Every structure is written in structure tokens, then in C-alpha cells.
Amino acid sequence: MAAPTAAAVLEHIVRSIVDQPDLVVVESSDDGDRTRLDVRVGDGDLGRVIGRRGRTAASIRTVTRAAAAKDGVEVDIEFLDD
């Protein structure tokens, strides 16, 4: 995994928001010069993660990108509903 700190921070934040934390899965893939982090949550939890007008998702992305700087990489974060 190219961004272990960012992935750990992202997983911790998302697990603290959702109703079903055991269903949260963070997958990492390298896409050239960037790392992509895909977050999968349980049914009905995607709305909690995205928040009103996407504000929660934007905040999560900001914090995770700051953590990725510690890993020395840039990340893109996608929230997916299973």
C-alpha cells in the first residue's frame, strides 16, 4: 500500500461516522503518480459519509490528503456504496 497513513486515517474517520463500521472497507490502488483510495460502506451509510451538499465527504478528503502528505503521495478518494 502506497499510502498507509492516509488509508488508516480514512478508515478511522469513516468507521466513526457510519452505523455499520464492520462493513467499511478501504482499498488502495496506484494510478501512476497518484494513489486511489476506494471506500466501501454498508447499505444506507453512504449518505452519512457524504453529508449535506457533500460537506462531510469534502472534509474527509481534506484530512486524508493531509495525512497522505506524511506518506509523500497524493491521493484521490472515492466513496462507493455496496
Q: Where are the domains of the chain?
A: 4-81
State the cell numbers at 9.
486515517
Q: Is the pLDDT of residue 32 over 80?
A: no
pLDDT in tens, 14-24: 999 999 999 99
- Assign 3 a pLDDT band (cuts: 50, 70, 90): confident
Judged against a pLDDT cut of 70, whether residue 70 lies above it is answered with yes
Residue with cell 499510502: 3
| Percentage of the residues of the chain whose pLDDT score is greater than 90 | 79
Name the residue with cell 483510495. 37
CATH architecture of 4-81: 2-Layer Sandwich (3.30)
Q: What mean pLDDT is predicted for residues 52-78?
A: 94
How many other β-carbons are positioned within 10 Å of the β-carbon of residue 37?
Answer: 23
Question: For residue range 33-48, what is the model confidence (pLDDT) as tens digits?
Answer: 789 999 999 999 999 9
